[in-house]
Amino acid sequence: MSALTLISETKMFNGRQARYRHFSRSTQCDMTFAVYLPPQALQGYRVPVLYWLSGLTCTDENFSQKAGAQRFAAQWGIALVMPDTSPRSDDVADAEGYDLGQGAGFYVNATETPWAAHYRMYDYIVEELPALIEAEFPVTGQRSIFGHSMGGHGALQIALKKPERYAAVSAFAPIVNPSATPWGQKAFAAYLGSDRSAWARYDSTELVQTATRTLPILIDQGDADSFYPAELQPETFVRAARARGFNVQFNMRPGYDHSYFFIASFIETHIEFHAQALGL
């Protein structure tokens, strides 16, 4: 298990907000993540973990500083884990623009040059990071997962492929059909090549159609989101999921955009949703 280096920590709602750095065997570079431990975890109890996956251009700090999630995590006794959105260093491949390269890992295991050397975010999020969290912090093996935009895509496709690992999944304005929308097509072509069967393995709308095990799903979308519906097509996924027997709660939020103001407005609902799925 790689050693953790503490970057910063502060008291928050009687719990502890901290940032760490460690060398990742998945991405073959240093990775940074944030973790919020609620007061219950500091009082000798082990608590379940809710993983947050952020969107394009974000780091681990955007959600921890803007969403206001810690207040509700403290109330329910849930740890929050907030990883970065990609590998980052001078040696890690990058690209011009915000939607490919560093800050835009898309939570896949890249197979194409030059990305394959470091861009293995799927393995990092699904296997390596949880093993590290469960070894180093006072948490149980219970997990749930949620995210925003590119992170909503990550959370949905990960939960659909590994439903036994998560109590529930939720998303704010997720990219649900990346094989059919510009952001996803650009990223998948670069990271995974031209074989669309490889794309389908990370496309939630494709994955849900062959799912054999269901789990609770919550999706919020703002109707004033400038990326809706060109990049974000949640209704497509919702129809496919409900046809397969999934219990999907879908809310179209009038007047809300793609920002963290939107996320902060409904974060309490999402954390309560996960708390109930975790049996709290």
- Annotated catalytic residues are 149, 225, 258
Q: Are strands 47-53 and 15-24 parallel, antiparallel or unpaired?
A: unpaired
Inter-residue contact 46 to 79 (CB < 8 Å) = no
DSSP three-state, residue 99: coil
Q: What backbone phi and psi angles, to 5 degrees, belong to 252?
A: -90, 120
- The secondary structure of 167-225, three-state, reads CCEEEECCCCCHHHCHHHHHHHHHHHCCCHHHHHCCCHHHHHHHCCCCCCEEEEEECCC
Q: Which amino acid is at 131?
A: A
Inter-residue contact 21 to 7 (CB < 8 Å) = yes
H or E segment and range at residue 222: strand 217-222
**Cα–Cα distance, 280 to 272 (Å, whole number):** 9
**Cα–Cα distance, 157 to 275 (Å, whole number):** 21
